[in-house]
Structure 1
Amino acid sequence: MAASRRAIKAINWAALTERIHESERNTLTAFKAKSDLYLRQLQANPENPPKIDWSFYKKKIATPALVDKFQKEYESLSIPYPQDKYSSLIDEQEKLGQEHVKKFISESNERIEKFKKELEHLGSLLKYGEMTMEDFAEAHPDLALDPINRPTIFPHTPDVQPDAEDSKEKSH
């Protein structure tokens, strides 16, 4: 029983609260309340059962052999502490979680580097208010108007441009 008392006291609730998302804090609070209730119930009982004064009962009972029998059976009684079946599973899940976290961190660092390069590129461009049409076409060739290779009609927005499929259907 001592191991379970230490385990319950060893929980760092403040660290758990900092690590979880705000939306899950109510669930953690409810879990902590249940844990505290179980801890209070556990502490209400002594860690070891009280000692029985067998000599007192031998004096008071007419058949001391019956008390001896009860004493022998009581002292031979052994209630095993439940086996820990779940710590190894939790450790495996923790290792798997650590692997996922390391993978996520490395992928995030790669994304961060990619975005930093993109920010450097965007920072090196002229401000859009200072660009000429040629500068814009050089910076964004896929968005710029190209009257030679991709002619468009006024107002040069995609919703008013004739579709290539429509022109093919008209020609047939």
Structure 2
Amino acid sequence: MSRRALKAINWAALAERIPESEKNVLAAFKTKSDLYLRKVQENPETAPKIDWTHYKKVISVPGMVDSFQKQYESLQIPYPADNYTATVEAQEKEAVVDIEKFIQESNKEIERAKGEITRIQGLLPISEMTMEDFKDSYPEYALDPLNNPTIYPHDPDRQPGSEKEEEKSSH
């Protein structure tokens, strides 16, 4: 195990991707991250080297320096196990797949919408249409007295046989 700290985070790129309402949360997170990074960097990566020969000359108690040296050199500081990197990387891969799928679906929807815009731009303005032109352009909305006769006010729920019309007549 080793001590690791991410040294470079592109905070500007993160700031571009989040909404304005979350900017203060990002600023607080950046402050905490910078504080943590400073604390990590204050301490050396490895334990400092000790001049044991100097202490053997200065300390007269036999075996004391040798005992301390042995204990110091056998000291192992355990770092916490990294249990999250693999999970985060797996989630990132899933997110990339979902994003690609969303982009493809969005591009299809954009193309469909562009086709609809082109179709609508090719139509006569509604103010200049006759009823026949409207029926040809919007058959799903136009009145069709020959194939689908309706009664005034021509609303779907006020036609004979509709659920709302049957509810009104049963009361």
Give the TM-score normalised by structure 1: 0.79
- The superposition leaves residues 9-40 of structure 1 with CA deviations (integer Å, 9 ceiling, x where unpaired) of 12221112222233332222221111111111
Q: Which runs of 5+ in 1 are unaligned?
A: none
- The superposition leaves residues 39-73 of structure 1 with CA deviations (integer Å, 9 ceiling, x where unpaired) of 11122223333222323433443313111111111
Match of 1:4 in 2: 4
Change in CA separation of 1:33 and 1:161 when aligned onto 2, cut-off 3 Å = same
Match of 1:152 in 2: 151
Aligned-CA RMSD value: 2.9
Match of 1:133 in 2: 131
> Aligned equivalents of 1:136 and 1:110: distance in 2?
28
**1:23-34 map, 5 Å:** 23-34=21-32
Q: Which moved more, 1:121-130 or 1:86-95?
A: 86-95
Match of 2:91 in 1: 93
SS in 2 for 1:125: coil
**1:3-152 map, 5 Å:** 4-5=4-5, 7=6, 9-148=7-146, 149-152=148-151
> Aligned equivalents of 2:157 and 2:64: distance in 1?
105
Higher normalized contact order (CA 8 Å, seq sep 6+, divided by chain length): 2
Aligned length: 166
Q: Report which of the two has the higher share of helix.
A: 1
